Amino acid sequence: MRISRYFLYIAILIILLTLPFYTGVYFLNVMDIILIYIALALSWDMLLRSGQISFGVAGLFGVGGYAAVLLNLNTGMNPLISIVMGGLAAGILAWLVGMAVLQLRGMYFAIVTLALAEIFRVIIRNLPDLTGGPEGTVLPSAIFAGNSTKTYWLAIAVAVVSVIASELFRRTRIHFALTSIRNDEIVAKSSGIDVFKYLVFIFVITSAIQGMTGGAYAHIYGFVSPEGSFSVDFTLLPIAMALLGGMHSTWGPVVGAVVLGVVSEFLKLQIPYGHLLVYGLIIVITILFFPQGILGTVGQRLKNRQRLRGSP
Amino acid sequence: MNVFSKLKQSNYQIAIVSVFLAIILASWKPHVLIEGIQRACLYAVIALPMALILGIVGIINLAHGEYMMLGAYFAYFLNVYTGMDPLLAVFPALLAFFLIGIVSYKAIIKYVLDAPELNQLLLTFGLAMVIEQLANLVWTSRPIKLPLKYVSSSATIGSFTFGTYEFIYVGGAMIVLIGLQLFLKRTNTGQAALAVGQNPRGAKLVGIHVDRTYLFIFSLSIALVGAIGAVFMTRHSIFPLVGAPFTMKSFCLIAMAGIGNLMGILWCSLILGLAENFVLSFRGYAGWADILFFALIVLVIMVRSHQRQVK
């Protein structure tokens, strides 16, 4: 059972890796976006598993992008290493913010992260010598000279890293620690879990993934700007995707990202100025009517049916 | 109690220090003092309804600024179609937004009252996005401003000239604060609301209609913030994203003052307003004023958590 499942994963990965050989450039671009959003949605959901909610995905995404682009531009660092450094920069920032703010949790943490994107945007706009100010910074050329096959593999690497991180967190002690913190903090504390340490740890890890994703995105498109890199898209879409697919799992956000990623390409053409409206509506409707998302609801149905069949 | 023992109390020490600072500020940069007070009262008057919802209904409404933005557009279109002055539009706005509040509560908020805090935050965040993007779609992101003559009125003392129209925020903040205090302390409904805020189950046991109280308080807050939007649009240009920063600043003030402390919001908004205008008064550094509230909220959270650990 277990071995066949690994074969399935490997088969999916091989199909994904070989896609460029029999599809067009436009399809690969759409896949890039979907893979980037898979990473963002998963990292957002990983933090949610501890019961903390972050509205700061766009902030850390943008910081990672800026760090990667500026390091590459100013020190001539290899773009791939600079993407990792972008993740590191976002992680360090998250550590600083987390040490200060995670002492009080719940809505305090949520609102502070809601402000993060806005704050980083203001800071970057006010440092024109370093960051290029309001106009942003353009790289001389995109990564791999814009080769769509290689950028696609880069996006796959980012998504796979986040999937592996998410699965690791689900299968180790960390999963139990985070789940018990989410369910009841006092119980978690009295069974010997260092709540604060675990929360800062998971916040730093998820932020590093978001920063790395931001770095990859910035290198794929070859530029960063205060409005583009900290756009509300990068907060709103991952949340809508993870919620729609199903919270607290690895495959829920992935399914949500694939569904909404395809839908968003269509929506951008239909309503170019208001497509974010749809994601807001998806969040509201999901929370109101099926808070467990697609996977959760379908899984529940299947379980119910099995129970009906199983009982004589 | 003689003067000296009073001086030892920390409240009086804070009062004396702040009066002292105000005098220094007034002689050094009078603009900062006047405009800071005006700005502070704008923040306070927006934060008060949010504090009311958070304190009694127990929901943090992340769509707060968006309702204010809707109020501003409401006053604008009332002016365009009927020629009504935006300041008079406060009264129809109160009525209209009370109804909008009822609809929002019945259709959406009611269902997450017992849900985990996470779901409430996500829901109101989604609601904020829906309102914001709907406004963006219908009215575009072009800033709108009405040409009103009376908003640029000013007064001169010696060589120092300042705008007087903005004192409307000071008046507004006083009316809302005193009105809310009277409502909560002197009326039956207000007392019931306070009781519900303290303990919904206990309130239910003594025969208070909890759901109806929630409905009334939520709608009242939405009505207030809609009316504030009408006043806001007389002086500032409006666009769909105009409300979002106020949501965060309002929460910052509530966190500083402590949930349920309406009077404290006024003092905290004075700190924020004066500090922002102080930074704005330095040429070349004005852009940094927007991150002050973030620094303040992080500072407050650190102090609070420290206090909690000491206890």
- Full pLDDT tens readout for chain A, 312 residues: 567 778 888 888 888 888 778 778 888 888 889 999 999 999 999 998 888 888 989 999 999 999 999 998 888 888 889 999 999 999 999 999 998 888 877 788 888 888 888 888 888 888 888 877 778 888 877 777 778 888 888 999 999 999 999 988 888 888 888 888 888 888 988 988 888 999 999 999 999 999 999 999 999 888 888 888 888 888 889 999 999 888 888 888 899 999 988 888 888 888 777 788 888 899 999 888 888 888 888 888 888 888 777 654
Query: Which one of A100, A110, A236 has the shortest CB-CB distance to B301?
Result: A100
Q: Averaged over B177-183, what is the pLDDT? A: 92
Number of domains in chain B: 1
Is-contact A226 A124, C-beta < 8 A? Answer: yes
Rounded distance between C-alpha atoms, residue B202 and residue B263, angstroms: 26
Q: Where are the domains of chain A?
A: 26-231, 232-248+257-312
This model's pTM is above 0.90? no
Q: CB A118 to CB B119 under 8 A?
A: no
Q: Which sign, positive or negative, has the C-alpha torsion B41, B43, B45, B48? A: negative
pLDDT band at B279 (very low <50, low <70, confident <90, very high): confident
Residue B295 lies in a domain: yes
- Give the per-residue pLDDT at A88: 94
Residues 6+ apart with CB under 8 A from B206: B195
- Give the per-residue pLDDT at B7: 59
Rounded distance between C-alpha atoms, residue A63 and residue A43, angstroms: 16
Q: Is A164 in the B-facing interface, judged by CB distances under 8 Å?
A: no
Q: Is the pLDDT of residue B134 over 70?
A: yes
Strands A137-138 and B154-157: unpaired
Q: Averaged over B132-143, what is the pLDDT? A: 88
Domain assignment of residue B81, given as a range:
32-304
- Give the per-residue pLDDT at A1: 56
* Letter string b/e over residues A12-35, b meaning 16 or more CB atoms within 10 A of that residue's CB: eeeebeebbeeeeeeebbebbbbb
Helix (H) or strand (E) holding B28: helix B10-28
Q: CB A111 to CB B251 under 8 A?
A: yes
Burial of A142 by CB count in 10 Å (0-12 exposed, 13-18 middle, 19+ buried)? Answer: middle
Q: CB B290 to CB A122 under 8 A?
A: yes
B60 torsion bin: left (phi>0), alpha (psi -120 to 50), beta (else): beta
Query: Which one of A126, A281, A291 has the shortest CB-CB distance to B130?
Result: A281
Specify the CATH number for the domain of residue B157. Answer: 1.10.3470
Mean pLDDT of chain B: 86
Is-contact B243 B287, C-beta < 8 A? Answer: no
- Give the per-residue pLDDT at B44: 93
Residue B217 lies in a domain: yes
Residue B22 lies in a domain: no
Query: Which one of B112, B119, B301 has the shortest CB-CB distance to A103?
Result: B301
Q: Which residues of A touch B119 (CB under 8 A)?
A: 287, 291
pLDDT, tens digit, 9 for 90 and up, residues B205-250 = 998 899 999 999 999 999 999 999 999 988 888 998 888 889 989 9
A116, closest residue in chain B (CA to CA): B294
Q: CB B128 to CB A280 under 8 A?
A: yes
pLDDT band at B4 (very low <50, low <70, confident <90, very high): low
Residue with tokens 């066949």: A4
Q: Is A185 in the B-facing interface, judged by CB distances under 8 Å?
A: no
- Give the per-residue pLDDT at B285: 77
**Which of the two residues, B151 and A82, has the higher pLDDT score?**
A82
Is-contact B44 B177, C-beta < 8 A? Answer: yes
Mutation target among A278, A283, A292 for the B interface, most CBs of B within 10 A: A283
A239, closest residue in chain B (CA to CA): B122
The total number of residues shown for chain B amounts to 311
Q: CB A110 to CB B121 under 8 A?
A: yes
Is-contact B40 B274, C-beta < 8 A? Answer: yes
Q: Is the pLDDT of residue B307 over 80?
A: no
Number of Cβ pairs < 8 A linking chain A and chain B = 118
Q: Is the pLDDT of residue B9 over 70?
A: no
Residue B176 lies in a domain: yes
**Which of the two residues, B259 and A89, has the higher pLDDT score?**
A89
- Give the per-residue pLDDT at A312: 47
Query: Which one of A100, A104, A287 has the shortest CB-CB distance to B126?
Result: A287
DSSP string, B163-218: ESTTHHHHHHHHHHHHHHHHHHHHSHHHHHHHHHHH-HHHHHHTT--HHHHHHHHH
Helical packing angle, A148-171 and A195-221, nearest 10°: 170
- Give the per-residue pLDDT at B311: 54
Residues 6+ apart with CB under 8 A from A84: A212, A215
**Which of the two residues, B2 and B294, has the higher pLDDT score?**
B294
- Give the per-residue pLDDT at A29: 86
Residue B4 lies in a domain: no
Min Cα separation B259/chain A (Å): 12
Q: CB B60 to CB A243 under 8 A?
A: no
Q: CA separation (Å) from B292 to A42, A60, B47, B169, B265?
A: 32, 19, 17, 21, 17
Residue B9 lies in a domain: no
- Give the per-residue pLDDT at A229: 86
Helix (H) or strand (E) holding B302: helix B292-310
Rounded distance between C-alpha atoms, residue B242 and residue B229, angstroms: 10
3-state secondary structure of A155: helix
Residue B16 lies in a domain: no
- Give the per-residue pLDDT at B51: 92
Is-contact B135 A280, C-beta < 8 A? Answer: no
Is-contact B65 B243, C-beta < 8 A? Answer: yes
- Give the per-residue pLDDT at B69: 94
Query: Which one of A55, A118, A280 has the shortest CB-CB distance to B130?
Result: A280
